[in-house]
Chain A
Amino acid sequence: MTETLPATDNRRRIRVRAIKSFLSQFLGHGGARLGVFALILFMAMAAMPNLLVGPLQTAMNATGDFLVSPSQVNLLGTDEAGRDVLNLIVHGARTSLVIALVSTLISLVVGTAVGMAAGYYGRWVDSWLMRMTDFFFVIPSFVLALVITPVVLETIGRSGNILGFRPSLFVIILVIGLTSWAFVARIVRSQTLTLRERQFVERARVLGTSNLKVMLRHLLPNLVPQIAANGALVVANAIYTETALSFLGLGDPLQPSWGTLLALAQRAGAASSGAWWYLGAPGLCVVIVSLSFVLIGNALDDTFNPRRRAIP
C-alpha cells in the first residue's frame, strides 16, 4: 500500500523544492555570489552602524586632525572638520541603502499597480494610464526629482525624527519612488497582456472570481519573477538618482548618504587638494552596491528566463 501525503504537505514540499532549485541555479552564477556577498556586508553595516564604528561623528565629537590621509588611527582618513571618514561611510550605508530600497519598494508597488491595471482592463483605462506612464517615462526621473524635491521639502520637511530618520530623507525616498515607476509599469503591463490570454485566467473569470482577486491571486505571482529581475535594476537606478541628487546639494548633510559625502568632499576642495580618500571611499561604496544589485538582477533574469542553449 503506498502512502499518499495530504495535499497541503505535497504543495509545501513542491514549493520547498522549487525554492531550493531556484537558489542553487541562482547562486550558480558567479556574479550572483559576488553580489549577494557584497550586499550582506553592506546590509550589516547599515543595520548596526553604532556597533561597528560608534555614533555618527559630527563636528562636536570629531577627534581627528583635518584632512589626514589614511593612517592607523583613521583607516580611511579624516574630512575637513576632523571627522573619521570610515565612520561617515558606515553610517552613510544606512542612509543610502534605506533610501534606495524603500524608494524602490514604492516604485515597484506603484508601477505594478498601474501596469497590471492597464494590462488587465485594457481599452480606455489602458490608454489613460499609459499616457500618464509616458509622461513619467519621458521626463528623466532625475530631472523631475531635482525639481520636485524642493517643493516636497517645503511641505513636508520640518523638524524632528521619524524612526530615527530625518524628514528630508523621507522626502527623497518619496520623490525617487514616485518618479521611477514608469519603467516597471511598462514591463508589468506587457507581461500582463500576455498572461491575460492564458487559460488559468479565463478559467478564474468564468468561475466568477472578482477582477481584483484575479489580479492578486493569479496574475501577481506570475509577475513576480519579472518584477524581481527588473527590481534589482530599479534599485541600482535609485542608488544612482539619490547619489546624484545628494551631490547637487539636495541631500541632508547631517545624516549624510554617500552622495552627500561626495558633495561635502567637493565643497571642501578635496579634489584639488588631493584628498583622494575623502572622495574615493563614498564613491567606491556606491559602485560596489550598485554593481551588486546589477549582478543579482542579471542572475535573477537568467534564472527565470533561461535562454542559453548550446550551439552544436
Chain B
Amino acid sequence: MEDFYFSRRFVLKALLAGTATSFIASSHALAASASCSDKIVRVAGIAAPDTMNPFATWASFWPTTFTYDVLVGVDAQRHPDRQGFAKEWSVDDKELTWTFKIWPGMKWSDGKPATAKDVAFTYEYLKKSVGTADELNVGWNNTSGMEQVQSIEVVDETTLRIITNKPTRWPVDNTIMIVPEHIWSSVSQADARGTFRNDPPLVGTGPMIVAEFQQGQFARLTPNTHFRKGQPEIAGLIFRFFPSADSIAQGLKSGDLDYGMNLTAAQWTDLSKDEAIVVGQGRTEARNYLAFNTASGKGAGSTKALQDEAFRDAVGYAIDQKTIAERAFRGHADPGVGLVMPAATNYYSELKDIKRHFDLEEAARRLDAAGYKDADGDGIREDRDGNKFQLELITGTTSGTIETPLAAVQLVAGWLGQIGIPASVTQLDPGALDARTASPEQGGGSWDLLISGGWLTPSAPDLLVLGEADNTGNNSYWKSGEFEQLISEVKSTADIEKSKALVDKAVRLIYQDAPYIILAYPFMLDARRKDCFQGWGTADMFSMWSYFPFDRLKAI
C-alpha cells in the first residue's frame, strides 16, 4: 500500500520538475537574442566601485568615466579624435598661461549649459581644500599637482585661462572629471571627501549617464540626450562588476556580454578560438615590480644588505624579465626595464647602455665582490654582519587592476634561492598588505622584499612616483636628494623635450641605485563579441582613460 503512496508522490514531482525545466530552458533563447535587439551594450570588468562620487574614491572610475568629461587628459593628447571638455588648448611662450577653448553650446545632461565656469568651479573646489584637514586627495578627482596653480580665470563662457607659478603640464595632464557647479556647489568638501554618495542619476557631459547603481553588481547608464556630438545611437549601457574574471569569460561565450576586460591568459587563449569573439591585448601604464625595503632605522628589513645598492644591483642580475613575461604572463607583457613603460611613448627608453642582463653567475660574482659570500658553504650567503640571509617576500593576493601572477613570484623566489639568498613568500590580503607597506611612522615596514604593482597616468611626475620621497606610491621607502631635485624640476617643466631629458636622467639614476627591479609591464587582455555593435577601436577597442567608444558605438 505504501509503495503506491510513495511512488505516486515521486511521479508527481518528476512531472512538475519536467515542465518547469522545459519552460525555463526555453527562455534562455530569449535572453541571448535580447542583447542585439534592445541595443543595450553589456560590458564587464573587475571593478568594485562603492560610490559614484569621484572625489571620494579611486574605484569609481568605472563607470563615472562614461558620464563626465576631462578637460584634456590622456586620451585627448594621444588621439586627436577623442577630445574632452576642451576643444583646443594652447600655452604661451613663458609656459605659464594656458588657454582652453571649451566646446560652444555644450549642455549638462539635465539641460543646463556647460561652460568654462564649471571647469573653473571644479578646479577651485579642489584648490580650496588644499592644506585643510578635508583635503580632497583620496579619490580620482584629487589635488595632486595643483601646488603650482596660481589662478583659474573664466574669460568668457567658452574660454578658460589657467595661470601657473612655474611651468607645469598639470593643466593638460590632469585627469580630473569636470562636475557641474549647480549640483556640487552645495556639497561641502568634507562631504565630498567622505559621505556624499552622488546618487544616480548623475549629471554630466559624457555620452552615457549613470542612471542606476547597484553596488557589487552593475551600473546602468542611459544615453545623454544633450551630448555635444548628439545623442549616442545605442539605447543604453550596462557595466557589470565582477570580483573575478571567470564570470566575464562565461558571459562573453554565452552572448550575455558584448565586451569584457581583465581576462586571464587562459581565458584569452580560449576565447581567441571562438569564432564569434575578437580578442585584444593593449599596452597599459601598469608596472609590476620587486621592491627592496631600503629603510634604515624604524621599519627596516631583516638585513642591512637591503640598504646597499651593490647588493640590490647584484640581485638585479638574477631576475630574468623575459622569462617572467613569457612564462608568468604567457607573453602578455613587456619585460620590465626602468620606471617608464612602453605605453608612455614620450619617455620610454630601453636603457640599453646600462641595462642588466640575466646571468646567475654574474649575480653571484657581484654578490661576492660586494662582500656577501657564503662562508660556510651551505648554499646560503651571509651578510656583512655575519647573519645568514633569510628574506621575507610579501605580496598581495591581488595587486592593482592587473594581477601579478603567482608564477612571477615563484620565479623570483626561485632565482633568489639559486644565488644563495633564500626568500620565503607570504601572501597577504589587501588590508594586511596595506598595513605592512605603510610608512614606518604609521606602523609599516619590517619586511624585506615586496612584489606589487601599480597603474598611474603616463605623465612625467606619475612616472617618477615610485622614487618620490614620502609618497604612498613609493613602496621601498627610498629617498635620494638628487632624485627629489629632478622631480621638482620635472614638476616645473611644461615643455616635453625638456622633461624628456629630466625624466631620462631620473630613470637612469634610480635604475642604477636599484631600490626596485621592474619585472614587467602587463597588457590589458580584453575581448568583444563580433555581433550586435560596431565602432569599437582598432588598436584599442576600449579606452582605459575616457569614454571611448561610447560616443560613437552603434548597432550593426
> Shortest CB–CB separation between residue B409 and chain A, in angstroms?
8
Q: Across the interface, which residues of B come within 8 angstroms of A250, CB to CB?
A: 429
- The docked-state distance in angstroms from the alpha carbon of A275 to that of B266 is 9
Bound-complex Cα distance A271 to B270 (A): 11
How many residues of A are counted as interface, with CB atoms below 8 angstroms from the partner's CB atoms?
36
Category for how many chain B residues contact A: 35 or more
- The answer to whether B406 and A150 touch across the interface, beta carbons within 8 angstroms, is no
* The stretch of B5-13, B73-81, B171-179, B242-250 that contacts the partner chain: B242-250
Question: Contact between A249 and B397 (Cβ–Cβ < 8 Å)?
Answer: yes
Q: Do B266 and A67 touch across chains, with their CB atoms under 8 A apart?
A: yes
Q: Are B429 and A253 in contact (CB under 8 A)?
A: no
A58-B265 in contact (CB<8A): no
Do residues B264 and A268 form an inter-chain contact, with CB atoms below 8 A?
yes
User: Residue B261 at the A interface, CB < 8 A?
Assistant: no
Number of A-B contacts (CB under 8 A): 102
The CA-CA distance from A121 to B118 in the complex, in Å, is: 77
Cβ-closest chain B residue relative to A61? B414
Q: Output the residue of A67, A80, A153, A250 with the most chain B CB within 10 A.
A: A80
A83 to B285, CA, bound (A): 30
Q: Given the complex, which residues of A lie within 8 Å of B427, measured CB to CB?
A: 249, 252-253
- Among the listed stretches A155-163, A172-180, A289-297, which one makes contact with chain B, having 4 or more residues with CB under 8 Å of it? A155-163
Is B485 an interface position by the 8 A CB rule? no
Note all chain B residues with C-beta closer than 8 A to A159: 390-392, 423-424, 426
B488 within 8 A of A: no
Instruction: Bits for B257-271, please: 1 = Cβ < 8 Å to A, else 0.
Output: 000000111110110
Q: Give A158's nearest chain B residue, CB to CB.
A: B392
| Complex-state Cα separation, A150 to B397, whole angstroms | 13
Q: Chain B nearest CB: distance from A79 CB in Å?
A: 9
- A250–B427 Cα gap in the complex (Å)? 9
Q: Which of B250, B265, B397 contacts A80 (CB 8 A)?
A: B265
Q: Is A198 at the interface (CB under 8 A from chain B)?
A: no
Neighbour of A267 across the interface among B244, B392, B410, B423, CB < 8 A: B244
- Contact status B244-A266, CB under 8 Å: yes
Q: In the docked arrangement, what's the CA distance between A154 and B444, Å?
A: 12
8 Å CB contacts to B: which residues of A197-213?
A: none
B163: which A residues are within 8 A, CB to CB? none
Residues of A within 8 A of B145 (CB): none
- In the complex, A60 has a CB within 8 A of chain B: yes
Say yes or no: A60 contacts B411, CB within 8 Å.
yes
Cβ–Cβ contact A273 & B426, under 8 A: no
Least CB distance, A279 to chain B, in whole angstroms: 11
Question: A282 near B: Cβ within 8 Å?
Answer: no
Flag if B246 contacts A249 (CB, 8 Å).
no
Asked if A272 meets B249 with Cβ closer than 8 Å, knowing A159-B390, A159-B392, A254-B425, the reply is: yes
B314 at the interface (CB under 8 A from A): no
**B327, A81: Cβ atoms under 8 Å?**
yes
What are 10 A-to-B residue pairs whose CB atoms are below 8 Å? A60-B415, A82-B327, A159-B391, A268-B264, A269-B245, A269-B266, A270-B266, A272-B246, A273-B266, A274-B270
Which residue numbers of B lie inside 8 Å of A, CB to CB?
244-250, 253, 263-267, 269-270, 327-328, 330, 390-392, 397, 403, 405-408, 410-411, 413-415, 423-429, 431-432
Task: Beyond A60-B410, A266-B246, A273-B249, list 10 extra A-B contacts (CB 8 Å).
Answer: A59-B410, A66-B265, A66-B266, A66-B269, A81-B407, A160-B390, A250-B429, A269-B246, A273-B269, A274-B270
List the 7 shortest-distance A-B pairs measured between CB atoms, nearest first: A60-B414, A272-B249, A59-B407, A273-B270, A159-B424, A81-B407, A59-B410
